[in-house]
Amino acid sequence: MSDAPAGGEHRVATHLGVSAADYDRQIRRFIPGYEEMLREVVSILDEVLPNGAHRSMDAAAPGAAAPGVSSPWAGALGVASPGAASPGAPFSAPLVADLGAGTGALSAAILDGIPRARALLVDIDPHMLEVAQARLAPHAARFELRRARFEDPLPPCDAIVASLSLHHVAEVDAKRTLYRHLRSSLRPGGVFLSADATVHPSGPEHDRVFRTWTAGMFDAGIGPGEAEALFAQWSREDTYQPLSVELALLADAGFERPECFWRKGPVTVFGAFA
C-alpha cells in the first residue's frame, strides 16, 4: 500500500503513522474487511490465470532483468532477482505484478493460494520491500522485488493487481494514463484488479461510506475521534474516486468491460480483462 504521490516519494511511516514492521497489524484495524478483500482478489486470479506456462518474454521487456541476472535495485535490497527465469529456461509460470506491494500481504496471499503463480512486487518504499522480502522467503523461487513507480515499465503480465495503493494517483488524467500503461502491459486475456476505497467526494453516498468505515474501525478498537483524525491525516495524500469514475477511466484506457467484482463498506475490488 505504498508508492509515490506527485511531488515526492511516499513513505508509509509518515503517511499512516506506523512503521513498516507494524503495518500488517494496523491495516487490519484501519480497513474493514481487509482479509475478505485479499481473498476475493486471490479467488479471481485463481479462476483466470493460465494453468500452463508461457514461453518466457520477460527478459525482452523494457526494464526487465535478463534471465538469471540480478537487477541493480535487487542487489541493494539483498535480493538476487529470485523471480527471474534460470538460464536457458524457455517457459515461465503466470506472472502477477503487484503495484504498491508494500509488505507483500497480497502477493503472499497469491503465492500461498495459487502455486502456479509468480509475483513481481513493485514499490517505491525500500523499507516496505525489506519486510516483503522476509515475508515471502518461503516462496524464494517465485517472486521478485522491484523498487519502482507505478508508471515504470513492466514485463508482459498475466495479471496486474494493486491493493490500497492507486489512490495515491491524485489526478484523473494521470490515472487514465496509468491505466493505459497497465492495459498495454497485460498479455491477451490478462486481468487488472484494484482493491481500493471508492468514495464520492460529497453527498449522502460519501457520508454513508464514511459512517460505515468509522463503525468498522470502532469494532477494531479505534474510536470515532481517532478515526476522524486518521481520515484527515490520510487525506493529505489519498484521493478516493467514485467507483463510477474508476470504471469510466478503465474504459477510456481501452478496457472493454470494466466491472466491480466485490464491495464492503468503503473498499471495492474492481477492474477489467484485457
Spatial distance between the Cα atoms of 83 and 121, rounded to a whole number of angstroms: 10
Average pLDDT score over residue span 102-109? 96
Residue 8's pLDDT is what? 43
- Quick check: 58 and 156 in contact, CB under 8 A? yes
Spatial distance between the Cα atoms of 253 and 181, rounded to a whole number of angstroms: 8
Of 91, 81, 175, nearest to 121 (Cα)? 81
Give CA torsion, residues 191, 100, 143, 270, to 10 deg: -20
**Res. 108: pLDDT tops 80:** yes
What are the DSSP calls for 50-70, one per residue?
Answer: -SS-EEP-GGGSTTPPPTT--
What average pLDDT does the structure give for the chain? 84
Q: Give, in words, the CATH class of 12-50+92-273.
A: alpha beta
Spatial distance between the Cα atoms of 175 and 239, rounded to a whole number of angstroms: 11
Of the given ranges (89-93, 117-121, 123-127, 222-226), which has the lowest mean pLDDT?
89-93
pLDDT by residue (tens digit) across 192-232?
999 999 999 999 999 999 999 999 999 999 999 999 999 99
- Quick check: 62 and 156 in contact, CB under 8 A? no
**Res. 71: pLDDT tops 80:** no
CA torsion sign for 51, 159, 261, 31 is positive
CA–CA distances in Å: residue 156 to residues 83, 179, 187, 254: 14, 15, 6, 17
- Quick check: 32 and 265 in contact, CB under 8 A? yes
CA–CA distances in Å: residue 225 to residues 4, 14, 39, 150, 201: 28, 20, 30, 33, 21
pLDDT by residue (tens digit) across 145-194?
999 999 999 999 999 999 999 999 999 999 999 999 999 999 999 999 99
